[in-house]
Structure 1
Amino acid sequence: MGQQGQHLGRAAGGTVTPTSSAALRRANLSLVLRHLRDHVSRSRADIAEATGLHRATVSNLVAELLDRQLVREVGVEHVGAVGRPRRPVALHGAHVGALGLEINVDYISVHGSDLSGRILVERRIGFDTMGSGPDRSLHRLGTVAREAIETMRSAGADPAGIGVAVPALVDVARGVVTFAPNLNWHNLPLAARLSATLGSPNVPVMVDNDANLAAVAEYTSGVAAGTPHLVYLTGEVGVGGGIIVDGRLLRGADGFSGEVGHLPVDPAGARCGCGRRGCWETKVGLAALVRTAMPQQAYTPAGLPVSDPEERAKEISRGLVEGDRHMMYAVAQVGRWLGLGGSIVVNLFNTRVIVVGGYFATLAEWLLPHAQEELERLVVAGAAAQCRFTASNLGFGAASRGAASMVVNQLIDDPTTIMDSIPRPPVH
């Protein structure tokens, strides 16, 4: 994924003009795999028509992909009364794994899949990252990663890449966490250190902002999948945003766009983890809600007590169901601030959908009516903007799922990285 943005379009098409036979092979293999990723199955003739490649070229490419077991034939398709039957192929790659990890304030999330999207491991572990410091946190992340890799290998898939999501400003090209305000991490070479911990120098480790990766997951497989103008908001202790414009992940000049949690909305407000006052996340982050709704369980500077954020959200949900007036007031306040910040985002990007994840999604029934009302009141274009809040259905694992998708995207962008390095799997 480049610094200037990643195209996330669902349809592959057009022709390419690489300058060497190796580049031509790489581009054509990618074109075929990308087309198959976006369709359940396709015949060789269908692939040729959609991609603009010659039929003989497609047949040779598919034969190579079949040989490496990156695609598989899925039956016979009869077209018309005469002619040879077509044999559709589908994305396979059961032996090629993609591991996605997320390390956040109070948990580590794991999502491991194979090239076709088959989920091999998915779990979330409570962990006090905020109070543990980078060394202990990376040690724990390495342990979780090793356990996930063993699970994936037992299922027959060897990870060809690892993606890590972090609530931070990230130098994606170098895999360095530049600044994680809620973790108090500065200039941490996460990719290099995790790679050294795992002892797998040939398996690339990529690092990106958690909201960016969750936005990728939402765009490809979430409730608003395929919406070309979409914003994803994390609902964690902090708040971040991933912005999709014209089907592309918006990164900005240095890759640091989407830090919507640090929009200044109240100059006289509470001090934020970034050191400034009145940031949006001081109004709508989980720490802000817990502080108001459950002051006895508030997050402390030392990061204690820390429990799974989903459990905290469910506890508040139970109070709301029981009619706890104090919690209802706290959630209504957060909802209004959510709508206010959302209106700034819509005024800037004219987005169609704001997908909310994390605890926002857990409490959507109570939060979003207040947020939508405030959004509609404050958006300059009014009803013409046609933007709506909607709750993610990917849960707290959206970022780790997006991290795995990032790995898959890179493998499909350059299939030769796996075709030339991973031996042919045995045929049973």
Structure 2
Amino acid sequence: MLQQRLPADQASVRRSNLSLVLRHLSENGARSRAVVAVETGLSKTTVTSLVGELQARGLVREIGPQHAGAVGRPGLALALDGSRVGALGLEVNVDYIAAFATDLAGRVLIDRRVTFDAMGSGVERSLGELAAVTRRAVTELGATGVTVAGITVAVPGLIDAHSGVVDVAPNLGWHRTPVAVRLTDAAPGVPIAVGNDANLAALAEYTSGVAAGTADLVYLTGEVGVGGGVISGGRLLEGADGFAGEMGHVMVDPSGERCGCGRIGCWETKVGLAALVRTVTPEHPYGLRDGVLRDPEERLAQIEQAIGDPLVDQAIATVGRWLGRGAATLVNLFNPRVIVFGGYFARLAGRLIPLAQAELERLAMAGSARRCTIVASGLGFGAASRGGAGTVVERILSDPTLIQIR
């Protein structure tokens, strides 16, 4: 069968081959030029030329002779470098802003979360704080000789990824908010993308989480709101407009509570952190302006200290059962092998997962239910910002020419 010939200029072929070599080193570790040539199918001359350019861009380095047991002079091993190339992921959520940065090889450079009342601060103040966090991170990385190659911002809402505009983020009160444009002054010349928090967290789980490499998985955020990211066949399921995964806004109780989106009985009104907090610490619910700003970890600590109180135990059990009911729908829709509980769901996994798994097996199609397991994420509340940094790394691996020759 003849392969279809596609038009391609030399520059695009060069970019493709640069990506092939860089990704090969990223996924397989140190290799000599000769081994890279054999494993990629490129000629030795081509690999030598490509490696020279990758070195000039600061993406590859030589680490010494590679002894493979063969007779003759050992070749110099090449390894992924990028120690001066930074990838920055940010997340703005109801009560915090997170920053996570790595270099190209995945070494963590920044990992922090700043408590901030984005729900009650309004768009302008929230964007100002997000810009300040961005500016500090870029400056901090620059002081160590790291240049930020890209930024991805995670937001809990519907995102127009092409323009970097948040169409709507119900729990933040944002509508048609041009996040990417508003951050340009904080990071001049740096490409800025915006993505849904659950989608980015799902990518982080797929690449480096507890279910890494699972081709079919669903990730559920456990925040004030509840979102989901779906990996199907090893690819993120985004939908026609990039809005797939808004699982928290599936109506499950037509006579239930009003959701932040304006509708009645959404799933997140049953299982979101705000719902649990409202039940077990009614004196400090989300939206109460008492002058005390609480990080989600602090709110969880309050809940954990109260475990044993019948009211608290019953509230957690109710969340667990509602999680299982929703999970059964997800299994019937997407047939995943794993459902990953993130955020506060992971923190309370010991109490939530047994109940959720039982409901899942009771309500989902029998065959799919038996082959799907619920597990707790190990990435905590930083999953989305970690996923944001990961998308920047992926863009560089796909097109190394994004990094300037030095």
Query: So what's the TM-score if we normalise by structure 1?
Result: 0.90
Q: Which amino acid aligns with 1:97?
A: G
What secondary structure, in the 3-state scheme, does the structure 2 residue paired with 1:253 have?
A: coil
Q: Which amino acid aligns with 2:103?
A: D
Q: 1:46-94 CA distances to partner (integer Å, 9 max, x unpaired)?
A: 3333333223212211122123321112232222341331322221111
Partner of 1:341: 326
In 1, the alpha carbon distance for the partners of 2:187 and 2:133 equals 14
Residue 41 of structure 2 corresponds to residue 56 of structure 1:
no
Partner of 2:388: 403
Q: Which amino acid aligns with 1:205?
A: I
Could you tell me how far 1:357 is from its partner in structure 2?
Answer: 1.0
In 1, the alpha carbon distance for the partners of 2:33 and 2:201 equals 33
Q: Which amino acid aligns with 2:355?
A: H
Matching residue within 228, 238, 242 for 1:255: 242
In 2, the alpha carbon distance for the partners of 1:219 and 1:303 equals 39
Matching residue within 129, 146, 151 for 2:135: 146
In 2, the alpha carbon distance for the partners of 1:83 and 1:303 equals 74
CA 1:384–1:260 in structure 2 vs 1: closer, same or farther (change >3 Å)? closer
Matching residue within 173, 177, 182 for 2:166: 177
1:9-408 paired onto structure 2 within 5 Å: 19-195=8-184, 197-198=185-186, 200=188, 202-300=189-287, 306-320=293-307, 323-382=308-367, 385-408=370-393
Aligned residues, how many?
A: 402
CA 1:345–1:304 in structure 2 vs 1: closer, same or farther (change >3 Å)? farther
Partner of 1:8: none
Gaps of 5+ in 1: 1-15
Q: Which amino acid aligns with 1:78?
A: H
In 2, the alpha carbon distance for the partners of 1:181 and 1:373 equals 31
What secondary structure, in the 3-state scheme, does the structure 2 residue paired with 1:396 have?
A: helix
Could you tell me how far 1:382 is from its partner in structure 2?
Answer: 3.9
Q: Which amino acid aligns with 2:297?
A: E
Query: Are the equivalent residues in 2 in contact too, given 1:120–1:151 (CA < 8 A)?
Result: no
In 2, the alpha carbon distance for the partners of 1:220 and 1:18 equals 33
In 2, the alpha carbon distance for the partners of 1:348 and 1:222 equals 23
CA 1:241–1:302 in structure 2 vs 1: closer, same or farther (change >3 Å)? farther
Query: Are the equivalent residues in 2 in contact too, given 1:350–1:385 (CA < 8 A)?
Result: no
In 2, the alpha carbon distance for the partners of 1:108 and 1:303 equals 20
Gaps of 5+ in 2: none
Query: Are the equivalent residues in 1 in contact too, given 2:37–2:47 (CA < 8 A)?
Result: yes
CA 1:94–1:157 in structure 2 vs 1: closer, same or farther (change >3 Å)? same
Q: 1:108-147 CA distances to partner (integer Å, 9 max, x unpaired)?
A: 0000111111111110000000001110001001111111
Query: Are the equivalent residues in 1 in contact too, given 2:138–2:187 (CA < 8 A)?
Result: no
Query: Are the equivalent residues in 2 in contact too, given 1:66–1:72 (CA < 8 A)?
Result: yes
CA 1:305–1:279 in structure 2 vs 1: closer, same or farther (change >3 Å)? farther
Query: Are the equivalent residues in 2 in contact too, given 1:17–1:24 (CA < 8 A)?
Result: no
Q: 1:201-221 CA distances to partner (integer Å, 9 max, x unpaired)?
A: x21110000001111111111
Query: Are the equivalent residues in 1 in contact too, given 2:152–2:194 (CA < 8 A)?
Result: yes
In 1, the alpha carbon distance for the partners of 2:291 and 2:357 equals 33
What secondary structure, in the 3-state scheme, does the structure 2 residue paired with 1:287 have?
A: helix
Query: Are the equivalent residues in 2 in contact too, given 1:230–1:351 (CA < 8 A)?
Result: yes
Q: Which amino acid aligns with 2:72?
A: G
In 2, the alpha carbon distance for the partners of 1:18 and 1:30 equals 19
Give RMSD over aligned pairs: 1.7
Query: Are the equivalent residues in 1 in contact too, given 2:164–2:193 (CA < 8 A)?
Result: yes
Query: Are the equivalent residues in 1 in contact too, given 2:339–2:375 (CA < 8 A)?
Result: yes
Q: Which amino acid aligns with 1:257?
A: A
Query: Are the equivalent residues in 2 in contact too, given 1:128–1:303 (CA < 8 A)?
Result: no
In 2, the alpha carbon distance for the partners of 1:330 and 1:338 equals 12
Range 87-96 or range 302-311, more displaced = 302-311
What secondary structure, in the 3-state scheme, does the structure 2 residue paired with 1:290 have?
A: helix
Query: Are the equivalent residues in 2 in contact too, given 1:379–1:385 (CA < 8 A)?
Result: no
Query: So what's the TM-score if we normalise by structure 2?
Result: 0.95
Q: 1:187-243 CA distances to partner (integer Å, 9 max, x unpaired)?
A: 111101111x3160x211100000011111111111110100011110000000111
